Chains A and B, each alone.
Chain A
Amino acid sequence: MRTINRLNEEIARWAFEIIYKTNTSWKIVFTNPTAGPWKTIKAPSKINGVEGEVYRFILEEDRPDIVMFNDDLETVIIIEAKDSLEKLLDRAQAIKSAAVVVKLANILRAKGTNAYWRGRENYKVILGLLWGSTDYPENDIEKRRLYDYYHNLVKDEEVVFSDLIIGVETLYRSGNLQCEAFYKDYSGDASTLGEHIIETLME
């Protein structure tokens, strides 16, 4: 079998996505590979489970890397992914990514009449960040710096639930990939939700 010569965004993201082939709490409704029949957000109806199109990104439109929801927690996470934490901290990238989350949160809130999204339009929309690390995980100081940076970009956006920022690290070590999720609570009373999210994301 071949080995990874460098951990890139595609692999870091994929390692996280495949958790949800078996995890039933969360459902991925959009992922952003380079091409293919995946350029639309598709979700199952809350009423009859039939899957259909919620939103289609147009050609040049900025899009997030992963959109996922949890009906039990009534929560949506919109994730930006990069192959390293440093790249997520790039100023221009962060501004663009936060803007994508805000824009999409507004779009999803306005989808109350969409047959496949109806009932989810008022879910909390949380900003998520996914990065790759090789051999050693990022330390807590760097992670907090990352969360704080993005929190500052969305804290005044009513459409985004900015009390929480979610982080996911894909660690490549000894030929294996392992994902771990984190959260940071900015309000002091969102930690219960944060714990539930982390617990269900990684179950």
Chain B
Amino acid sequence: MQFYDGCSDGTFEMAEDWLVECILCGQQYRIDRRSLNISVMEQGDVFEHYFWTELTCKGCGEKLFIRTKVYGDKNGDFIREDHECDDVDFIRPPDIRTVNQAGLQNNRERPIRAHVRNPHIGGRRMREIEIWADSFHEGVWCCDNICAYLESLGYSFESDYLNGFIPHYVVEKEGEQLLELIVYGSYKSWNPMPSKIKELIGWGKPDFVAYDAQDNRILFAVEETAATPTGNQAMQRCERQYGSAHLRIPYWYFVSEYGEHVDGGVRRDNIWPSIAAIKLTLIKKTPCLVLHYSDIDNVEDYNSGNGLGLLFSSLSHIIDNYVCGRAALDDTEELLARQYQEMLLFISSQWENVIDFIPSERLLHQDETAKAIARYALGDETPEDERLKAEVLVWPLTTGVPSNVLRQQQGRSLIKYDALAALLERDITLNKCYILSNNAGSGKPTTRDKISGWINDQAALFASSAPLNPPAVFTMKIEDFPETDNGNIHVTTSKNIVYLYDRWADLKEAIEEAYPRLRGKLNDIPDEKPVFMYVSNSLKPGRLFGDPFTGQLSAYSTCFGKFDTRDRAVIAYFPHQVHTQAFGRNGRVTRNKGTTLYTELTDYLIFNAGVAVSLKNEEVL
């Protein structure tokens, strides 16, 4: 330990005198910053810089001990600070400077508030949560609902705007101000952005996030959408679900169960986000939920169905725990179990409209399944629960597929010919793999002009590639794509986009047959390992690392076993996209949410002309 006195220890410095108040008698003091005692102690990777002084209160005679702990890393970078004292309150938070930087830090991770009334009451410091949101509306919607639910727990609240526009809520109980909620709308507009928020939105931006600046942690993240749940809409946002689970942040996805399609018909939500959420819960041991709003008579109505109530009773429960100093998820098992129950019932009632069979169907109806998933969410699983995890929603090898389903699955002709897609379809017939449904639909045909332009763009991107060995040749031309009756162009090769192979050796054989240049190059996966093959027929440049493919791949990879006990390798195939889009001018992988997700989830990407990419190894094959 090292000792100093004054206002600085050479790393951090108090930039202003301390203004404090005795909590027993209200006597106020200005503490000369030059009079402080300082000690510095190493605590593992963190250094505690301890600034303190003491005095006897003139008003009540109490001995007052005043301190501020500043935590920094070995480079002297600020991590956090704590100025909570037993007998004294800071009237204004201490202003901390990093000595080796020119500007004032102003408590980089724990900012000084502009006008907060009574930040310290009766010796108990009012706590603060920042709601970071895509838009102010979403942040305010979150706070309004949380406060409304907190009222049922005996709290009251007032709201105003800091600096005339930043939504600000003060939550009270029995006259005591306990919590502030401050909304920061439009994530990237605010400075400084906490490292945890930056880390999370790198996986895709949830609509709102509750951030505890004092402990630099995220309490929960929520994605809500008013989009009609048709086609890929619900899956577009699944990369956010994955990102939150990956970082072990409790996550809720709030989506309409029923929506009106442009054709006027009513559609019901897709099952995959719910299945992925359950599997992520089991894998990451963190709550990951999908809640539905609306019902068949009130499509797209946020206030219909159970979802809204379950969402905000959960979030307000977390906030209540936070205010009371309990663990964030304390006493939530029953509440979570109820939500998992809703998800299981939804899957159970909807899967037959989407796929030919679902594994472990009987488990979807058992109350105990939801309870076990809730225990997993809280990290309280039992040995019995682990057996359930090995079974629930685990897509089997072909030998585990019901024989009548397997018998009916036959490879079908392609809409637009592609050598590898044709072999994948052949392998269905040979029972080397199976698919989800015999009723998969095709993508929407596009105008000739667009297709022609996209092919030219892809050709230009391909031309920017470094030489490959053996050479790969770009041959895609508009004549390869069939025309519809009204002159539009099909880009769909096979209608199926998911193939579940029992053995990598079988899929590798198909890939090498279609693209002989890849022979002997794809060696990172054991031959006997099962594989999930994902196909995207997208042709528009730039799309493959954006919506909906990133979300879709995240959900499917999770659903089909990337993290199962008997895990599957993941291969993504883009017959109409070229590999150079994954790389920047410096030859390194471009970093965006798409490449982040693909690097995490895929073993190989296979592109047009049989170019394979391993993002993990930053390697073009």
A140 to B: closest C-beta gap in Å: 25
List residues of chain B with CB within 8 A of the CB of A6.
189
Contact pattern, B 84-114, Cβ under 8 Å of A = 1, otherwise 0: 0000000000000000000000000001111
A169 to B: closest C-beta gap in Å: 14
List residues of chain B with CB within 8 A of the CB of A36.
135, 137-138, 141, 207, 224-226
Q: Which residue of A lies closest to B230 (CB)?
A: A59
B4 to A: closest C-beta gap in Å: 30
B264 to A: closest C-beta gap in Å: 11
Task: Contact check, B302 vs A5: say whether CB atoms are below 8 A apart.
Answer: no
Task: Contact check, B161 vs A33: say whether CB atoms are below 8 A apart.
Answer: no
Task: Contact check, B141 vs A2: say whether CB atoms are below 8 A apart.
Answer: no
Chain A CB within 8 A of B227 CB: yes
A-facing residues in B145-189 (Cβ within 8 Å)? 161-166, 182, 184-186, 188-189
Task: Contact check, A11 vs B165: say whether CB atoms are below 8 A apart.
Answer: yes
A171 to B: closest C-beta gap in Å: 12
List residues of chain A with CB within 8 A of the CB of B207.
35-36
In the complex, A33→B224 CA distance in Å?
13
Chain B CB within 8 A of A49 CB: no
Task: Contact check, B225 vs A4: say whether CB atoms are below 8 A apart.
Answer: no
Chain B CB within 8 A of A92 CB: no
In the complex, A33→B208 CA distance in Å?
13
Residue in A7, A11, A58 whose beta carbon sits within 8 Å of that of B185 in the complex: A11
List residues of chain B with CB within 8 A of the CB of A177.
163-165
B130 to A: closest C-beta gap in Å: 8
Residue in A2, A33, A39 whose beta carbon sits within 8 Å of that of B138 in the complex: A33
List residues of chain B with CB within 8 A of the CB of A37.
141, 226, 302
Q: A4-B189, A10-B186 are in contact. Are A33 and B135 (CB under 8 A)?
A: yes
- On chain B, the number of residues with a Cβ less than 8 Å from chain A's Cβ atoms is 34
Which residue, of B137, B138, B184, has the highest number of chain A Cβ atoms within 10 A?
B137
Chain A CB within 8 A of B262 CB: yes
Q: A33-B135, A37-B302, A38-B226 are in contact. Are A3 and B165 (CB under 8 A)?
A: no
List residues of chain B with CB within 8 A of the CB of A59.
227-228, 262
B-facing residues in A1-55 (Cβ within 8 Å)? 1-8, 10-11, 14-15, 18, 31, 33-39
Task: Contact check, A34 vs B135: say whether CB atoms are below 8 A apart.
Answer: yes
Task: Contact check, A18 vs B165: say whether CB atoms are below 8 A apart.
Answer: yes
B546 to A: closest C-beta gap in Å: 15
Residue in B164, B225, B302 whose beta carbon sits within 8 Å of that of A15 in the complex: B164
List residues of chain A with CB within 8 A of the CB of B262.
58-59
B93 to A: closest C-beta gap in Å: 11
Chain B CB within 8 A of A188 CB: no
Contact pattern, B 183-200, Cβ under 8 Å of A = 1, otherwise 0: 011101111100000000
A-facing residues in B99-145 (Cβ within 8 Å)? 111-114, 130, 134-138, 141
Residue in A3, A14, A178 whose beta carbon sits within 8 Å of that of B136 in the complex: A14
In the complex, A10→B384 CA distance in Å?
50
Q: A2-B111, A4-B189, A33-B137 are in contact. Are A176 and B226 (CB under 8 A)?
A: no
Residue in A1, A11, A33, A176 whose beta carbon sits within 8 Å of that of B134 in the complex: A33
Contact pattern, A 174-186, Cβ under 8 Å of B = 1, otherwise 0: 0111100000000
List residues of chain A with CB within 8 A of the CB of B186.
8, 10-11
A63 to B: closest C-beta gap in Å: 13
Task: Contact check, B165 vs A14: say whether CB atoms are below 8 A apart.
Answer: yes
Q: A1-B112, A1-B166, A177-B163 are in contact. Are A10 and B191 (CB under 8 A)?
A: no
Q: A15-B165, A35-B138 are in contact. Are A1 and B114 (CB under 8 A)?
A: yes
In the complex, A38→B227 CA distance in Å?
11
Q: How many A-B residue pairs have CB under 8 A?
A: 88
Residue in A2, A18, A35, A38 whose beta carbon sits within 8 Å of that of B184 in the complex: A2
Task: Contact check, A1 vs B162: say whether CB atoms are below 8 A apart.
Answer: yes
Q: A10-B136, A34-B134, A35-B224 are in contact. Are A1 and B113 (CB under 8 A)?
A: yes
Q: Which residue of A lies closest to B194 (CB)?
A: A2
List residues of chain B with CB within 8 A of the CB of A3.
190-191
Q: Which residue of A lies closest to B190 (CB)?
A: A2
In the complex, A15→B111 CA distance in Å?
22
In the complex, A177→B188 CA distance in Å?
18
List residues of chain B with CB within 8 A of the CB of A31.
137
In the complex, A8→B186 CA distance in Å?
9
B297 to A: closest C-beta gap in Å: 15
Q: A4-B189, A5-B189, A33-B137 are in contact. Are A39 and B163 (CB under 8 A)?
A: no
Which residue, of B136, B185, B262, has the highest number of chain A Cβ atoms within 10 A?
B136
In the complex, A175→B112 CA distance in Å?
14
List residues of chain A with CB within 8 A of the CB of B190.
2-5
B524 to A: closest C-beta gap in Å: 39
List residues of chain A with CB within 8 A of the CB of B164.
15, 176-178
List residues of chain B with CB within 8 A of the CB of A5.
188-191
Task: Contact check, A39 vs B113: say whether CB atoms are below 8 A apart.
Answer: no
Q: Which residue of B lies closest to A31 (CB)?
A: B137
In the complex, A178→B161 CA distance in Å?
13
Task: Contact check, A10 vs B135: say whether CB atoms are below 8 A apart.
Answer: yes
List residues of chain B with CB within 8 A of the CB of A176.
163-164
In the complex, A8→B165 CA distance in Å?
14
B137 to A: closest C-beta gap in Å: 4
In the complex, A10→B183 CA distance in Å?
13
In the complex, A175→B189 CA distance in Å?
13
Task: Contact check, B163 vs A38: say whether CB atoms are below 8 A apart.
Answer: no
B268 to A: closest C-beta gap in Å: 17
In the complex, A34→B90 CA distance in Å?
40
Task: Contact check, A8 vs B224: say whether CB atoms are below 8 A apart.
Answer: no
Task: Contact check, B191 vs A35: say whether CB atoms are below 8 A apart.
Answer: no
List residues of chain A with CB within 8 A of the CB of B189.
4-8, 10-11
List residues of chain B with CB within 8 A of the CB of A7.
189
In the complex, A6→B161 CA distance in Å?
19
Q: Which residue of B lies closest to A170 (CB)?
A: B165
B569 to A: closest C-beta gap in Å: 35
List residues of chain B with CB within 8 A of the CB of A1.
111-114, 162-163, 166, 182
Q: A1-B166, A1-B182 are in contact. Are A38 and B137 (CB under 8 A)?
A: yes
List residues of chain B with CB within 8 A of the CB of A15.
164-165
In the complex, A15→B162 CA distance in Å?
11
In the complex, A154→B367 CA distance in Å?
62
In the complex, A72→B162 CA distance in Å?
31
Q: A1-B112, A15-B165 are in contact. Are A35 and B135 (CB under 8 A)?
A: yes
In the complex, A2→B135 CA distance in Å?
16
B414 to A: closest C-beta gap in Å: 29
In the complex, A39→B207 CA distance in Å?
15
B31 to A: closest C-beta gap in Å: 24
List residues of chain B with CB within 8 A of the CB of A34.
134-135
Q: Which residue of B lies closest to A176 (CB)?
A: B163
List residues of chain B with CB within 8 A of the CB of A18.
161, 165
Q: List 24 A-B contacts (CB under 8 A).
A: A1-B111, A1-B112, A1-B114, A1-B162, A1-B182, A2-B111, A2-B190, A2-B191, A4-B189, A4-B190, A5-B190, A5-B191, A10-B135, A11-B136, A11-B165, A14-B165, A15-B165, A18-B165, A33-B135, A35-B226, A36-B226, A59-B228, A175-B114, A176-B163
Interface residues of A (CB under 8 A from B): 1-8, 10-11, 14-15, 18, 31, 33-39, 58-59, 175-178
The 7 nearest A-B residue pairs measured at CB: A33-B135, A5-B191, A10-B186, A14-B136, A33-B137, A2-B190, A15-B165
A11-B136, A36-B226, A39-B226 known; 6 new pairs, CB 8 Å cut-off, are A10-B135, A14-B136, A18-B161, A33-B138, A36-B224, A175-B163
